[in-house]
């Protein structure tokens, strides 16, 4: 008789500064997935494979990264959460842990996500936020950036904004909203969509920044989308300004 596996979901928060991304890699142990799986195996005595809502790149942070995994037995979730936070590195934390429905999957069950890219828009040094905000000294035309963003919202082929040149799957995604908020010298760009391609948010942010600097017109976004060519968009902004903020199910 085959024993039914127990499905669990936990939500992680992490500072990605010193890691080579979420996904485990055979040639290094310096990934968030490896760190969490190692501690989880030590505490439960079972080897398991975690599934995250998405694979954040090297240097990217997560405010709330949902993860599912399966074990052969029921657990005291409160106790395991406490022990995980006791033994995990200080830059990785478990926010919640609970049983999940049998078919629930952190990535496949996700309906949409919000990523935020933070800009420090000032010539003054960003001493304490330098690991989490990308600095741009020149002033930005926020109105032009908002006009450009409206053209990027909706369902489009975002091949021009994909970091992988040989991406064989569909590059069609839907962006529900791109919003901007300024608090003092910080400008936050939020991207809410049903899914994102490799480096897509960082490339979108970089392209919108070029509009804000007057290097592109807001109307040129239509041409960039139509080109379906990576060279038509701007370069990807650095990873440290990007954070996975929320996942919806």
CB 214 within 8 A of CB 143: no
1 domain residue, yes or no:
no
Query: Which helix H or strand E contains 190, and what residues bound it?
Result: strand 186-193
N-to-C CA span, the chain: 33
Over residues 31-57, the pLDDT tens digits come to 999 999 999 999 999 999 999 999 999
Examine the pLDDT at 246 and tell me if it is beyond 80.
Answer: yes
Helices 200-212 and 142-152 pack at an angle, to 10 degrees, of 140
Q: Are residues 129 and 243 in the same domain?
A: yes
Q: Are residues 34 and 73 in the same domain?
A: yes
Q: Mean pLDDT across the stretch 74-91?
A: 96
Examine the pLDDT at 162 and tell me if it is beyond 80.
Answer: yes
Three-class SS state of 240? helix
The residue out of 99, 124, 153 marking a domain boundary is 99
Report strand pairing: 154-157 vs 112-120: unpaired
The residue out of 55, 71, 99 marking a domain boundary is 99
CB 191 within 8 A of CB 225: no
Q: Are residues 141 and 237 in the same domain?
A: yes
Residue with tokens 């995990």: 88
Identify the DSSP state of 194: S
Domain of 17, CATH number, reads 3.30.70.580
146 domain residue, yes or no:
yes
104 domain residue, yes or no:
no
Exposed / middle / buried, residue 10 (Cβ in 10 Å: 0-12, 13-18, 19+): buried
Could you tell me what percent of the chain has a pLDDT over 90?
92
* pLDDT at residue 66 in the model: 98
DSSP 162-187: -S-TT--S--EEEEEEEEEEEETTEE
Q: Are residues 63 and 121 in the same domain?
A: no
107 domain residue, yes or no:
no
At residue 1 the predicted structure's pLDDT band, cuts being 50, 70 and 90, is very low
15 is catalytic: no
Catalytic residue among 57, 76, 157, 185: 57
Give ∠ CA 59-33-36 in degrees, rounded to 5.
115
Over residues 93-137, the pLDDT tens digits come to 999 999 999 999 999 999 999 999 999 999 999 999 999 999 999
Residue with tokens 């006009």: 147
Q: Are residues 127 and 244 in the same domain?
A: yes
Select from 230, 211, 101 the least CA-distant residue to 164.
230
Q: Are residues 148 and 202 in the same domain?
A: yes
* pLDDT at residue 2 in the model: 52
CB 41 within 8 A of CB 102: no
Report if pTM > 0.85: yes
Q: Are residues 153 and 220 in the same domain?
A: yes
How many structural domains comprise the chain? Answer: 2
Q: Are residues 62 and 175 in the same domain?
A: no
| Domain assignment of residue 79, given as a range | 6-99
150 domain residue, yes or no:
yes
**Token representation of residue 208:** 């919108």
The residue out of 39, 71, 99 marking a domain boundary is 99
Over residues 163-173, the pLDDT tens digits come to 988 777 899 99
Domain of 183, CATH number, reads 3.30.70.660
Q: Are residues 176 and 215 in the same domain?
A: yes
């Amino acid at each position: 008789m085959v024993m039914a596996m127990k499905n669990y979901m936990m939500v992680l928060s992490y500072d990605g500064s010193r890691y080579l991304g979420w996904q485990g890699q055979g040639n290094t142990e310096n990934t968030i997935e490896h760190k969490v799986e190692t501690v989880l195996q030590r505490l439960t005595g079972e080897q398991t494979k975690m599934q995250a809502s998405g694979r954040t790149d090297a240097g990217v942070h997560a405010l709330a990264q949902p993860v599912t995994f399966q074990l052969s037995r029921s657990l005291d979730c409160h106790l395991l959460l406490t022990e995980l936070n006791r033994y995990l590195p200080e830059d990785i934390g478990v926010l919640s842990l609970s049983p999940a429905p049998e078919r629930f999957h952190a990535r496949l069950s996700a309906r949409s996500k919000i990523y935020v890219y933070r800009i420090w828009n000032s010539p003054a040094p960003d001493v304490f936020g330098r690991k989490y905000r990308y600095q741009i000294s020149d002033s930005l035309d926020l109105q032009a950036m908002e006009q450009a963003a409206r053209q990027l919202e909706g369902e489009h082929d975002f091949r021009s904004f994909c970091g992988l040149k040989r991406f064989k799957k569909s590059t069609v995604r839907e962006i529900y909203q791109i919003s901007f908020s300024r608090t003092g010298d910080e400008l936050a760009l939020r991207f809410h969509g049903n899914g994102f391609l490799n480096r897509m948010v960082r490339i979108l942010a970089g392209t919108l920044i070029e509009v804000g600097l007057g290097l592109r017109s807001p109307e040129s976004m239509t041409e960039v989308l139509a080109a379906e060519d990576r060279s038509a968009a701007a370069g990807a902004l650095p990873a440290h300004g990007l954070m996975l903020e929320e996942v919806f199910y």
